[in-house]
Amino acid sequence: MTALTFVESPPGLAPLLDFTLDEVEGAHGLHTLRSADAPDIRLFVLDAPVFLPWYLPAFDEESYDSIGSSSDDVDVLVVTRISDGSPIVNLMAPVLVNRTTGAARQVILSEEWPLAAALAQPGAA
User: Has residue 6 been placed in a domain?
Assistant: yes
List all residues 6 or more positions away from 95 whose beta carbon is below 8 Å from its beta carbon: 10, 33, 45, 76, 77, 78, 79, 104, 105, 106, 107
Its domain, for residue 24, covers: 2-118
* Percentage of residues in the chain having pLDDT higher than 90: 80
Q: How far apart are CA 76 and CA 46, in angstroms?
A: 8
Strand partners, 20: 3, 34
CATH at residue 107: 2.30.290.10
pTM, entire model: 0.90
Q: Are the C-beta atoms of 96 and 116 separated by less than 8 Å?
A: no
User: Has residue 124 been placed in a domain?
Assistant: no
pLDDT in tens, 21-65: 999 999 999 999 999 999 999 999 999 999 999 999 999 999 999
Which of the residue ranges 40-44, 65-69, 111-115 would you say has the lowest mean pLDDT?
A: 111-115
User: Has residue 125 been placed in a domain?
Assistant: no
Does residue 115 surpass a pLDDT of 50?
yes
User: Has residue 123 been placed in a domain?
Assistant: no
Number of domains in the chain: 1
